[in-house]
């Protein structure tokens, strides 16, 4: 990585402003249900503490749309971080303002301050609408570290704009470096055979990465809701299945490209269909070519497809997976997603999984530890594959020799 690293940054006696990704899932009681992203930030935080710096953490949580809301407070993250580090964490009442500025000014080496949700201010996602926001954030620290790979594809105040205030002092944290290292070594220049498994609901959010993967992968296995747009583009009946009519032409183009590119797009041979998204739905398994009747919708890949995908993946050297292959949250429709999760866990290939739903499936199956690398950023990993860099990375200072 050609960007300045945290390990190259003089931080003794400095206030280190660190962008982390604490956008964690919460239940109705505001309890964290998965602290993976907080745990992923610990090496960077601990290094700063051990090196004599003071830590000022900033993150977003959810989509509060520029307004303060208890529902989206980072207070549960402060509590959990304190437990994980066995170290007190000071919680700021806001991410900017006089009181927060005073807390930062008084912070001593070895102390941790967590700022309140950045997205309580419009200036985070729309720096042009609140021009002073970025400057106020920057004024809190002496040096800047971005360790939030999951938001590095956003040119927001705290991920890109802020680096202008830290010339030569804006570095990559250890998690960001780790993510880029795995993506570069495994996906940008993959060991072959390289197979990509792409699922999830929409083709619209993954067109760019599909176009990129058609030139990089040896095969792209398609499942999930996005498969039905491809199937409709082939003239097959898809019943009431989720799809995007406005992207049918694009799906046809991608299928045509797959005939001439390195990678072949492989669609499900059979489907699990249901008359409703419920555990007690009427369920059938049909060959894809038969078409889905109008009162049914596709909910999972079928057993023949599971077997076909499994066979293809047997000789893999590299596998990238993003997006579930069915409505895995509902038990009768989860077999495809869990079957492929087991294939990856048992594979000798380098396995990289990006995206919250895919990782959630691995964790619920107890297989997460058997994957080579779990990316903390699904969208960011897709955009990195597509573009080879991200705005949050580009904005960092260049490495010192």
Annotated binding site, which residues? 21-23, 37, 60-63, 119, 154, 206, 298, 329, 355-358
Among residues 123, 356, 378, 392, the one annotated as catalytic is 356
Among residues 223, 225, 379, 392, the one annotated as catalytic is 379
Among residues 39, 66, 75, 202, the one annotated as catalytic is 202
Confirm whether 28 is a catalytic residue.
no
Listed residue (154, 150, 92) closest to 127, CA to CA: 154
Listed residue (222, 219, 218) closest to 200, CA to CA: 222
H or E segment at 384?
helix 378-387
Helix, strand, coil in percent for the chain, rounding step 5: 40, 15, 40
Confirm whether 202 is a catalytic residue.
yes
Residue that the structure tokens 């993150």 belong to: 59
Dist. CA 33–CA 172, nearest whole Å: 27
Among residues 37, 80, 178, 216, the one annotated as catalytic is 37
Q: DSSP state, 149?
A: G
Residues marked as binding for (2R)-3-phosphoglycerate?
37, 119, 154
Q: What is the CA 207 to chain-centroid distance, rounded?
A: 17
Residues marked as binding for ATP?
206, 298, 329, 355-358
Residues 6+ apart with CB under 8 A from 314: none
Angle between helices 335-346 and 356-364 (to 10 degrees): 80
Residues marked as binding for substrate?
21-23, 37, 60-63, 119, 154
Q: Which residues are catalytic?
A: 37, 202, 356, 379
């Amino acid at each position: 990585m050609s960007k300045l690293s945290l390990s190259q940054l003089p931080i003794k006696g400095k206030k280190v402003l660190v962008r982390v990704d604490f956008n964690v899932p919460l239940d109705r009681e505001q309890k964290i249900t998965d602290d993976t992203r907080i745990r992923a930030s610990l090496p960077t935080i601990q290094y700063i503490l051990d090196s004599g710096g003071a830590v000022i953490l900033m993150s977003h949580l959810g989509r509060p749309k520029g307004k303060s809301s208890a529902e989206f407070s980072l207070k549960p993250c402060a509590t959990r971080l304190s437990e994980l580090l066995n170290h007190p964490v000071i919680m700021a009442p806001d991410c900017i303002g006089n009181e927060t500025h005073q807390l930062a000014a008084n912070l001593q080496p070895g102390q941790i301050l967590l700022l309140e949700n950045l997205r309580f201010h419009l200036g985070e996602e729309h720096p042009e609408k609140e021009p002073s926001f970025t400057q106020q954030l920057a004024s809190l620290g002496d040096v800047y570290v971005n360790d939030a790979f999951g938001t590095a594809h956003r040119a927001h105040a705290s991920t890109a704009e802020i680096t202008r205030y830290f010339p030569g002092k804006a570095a990559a944290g250890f998690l960001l470096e780790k993510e880029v290292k795995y993506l570069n070594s495994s996906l940008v220049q993959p060991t072959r055979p390289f197979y990509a498994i792409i699922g999830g609901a929409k083709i619209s959010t993954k067109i760019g990465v599909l176009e990129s993967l058609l030139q990089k992968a040896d095969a792209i296995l398609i499942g999930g809701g996005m498969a039905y747009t491809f199937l409709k583009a082939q003239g097959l009946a898809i019943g009431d299945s989720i799809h995007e009519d406005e992207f049918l032409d694009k799906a046809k183009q991608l299928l045509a490209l797959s005939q001439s590119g390195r990678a072949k797009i492989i669609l499900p041979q059979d489907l699990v269909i249901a008359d409703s998204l419920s555990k007690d739905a009427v369920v059938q398994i049909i060959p894809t070519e038969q078409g889905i009747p109008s009162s049914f919708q596709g909910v999972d890949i079928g057993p023949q497809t599971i077997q076909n995908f499994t066979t293809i993946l047997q000789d893999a050297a590299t596998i990238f997976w993003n997006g579930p292959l069915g409505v895995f949250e509902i038990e009768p429709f989860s077999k495809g997603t869990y079957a492929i999760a087991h294939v990856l866990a048992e594979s000798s290939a380098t396995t990289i999984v990006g995206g919250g739903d895919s990782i959630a499936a691995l964790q619920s199956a107890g297989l997460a530890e058997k994957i080579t690398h779990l990316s903390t950023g699904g969208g960011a990993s897709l955009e990195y594959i597509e573009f080879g860099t991200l705005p949050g990375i580009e904005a960092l200072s260049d490495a010192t020799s």
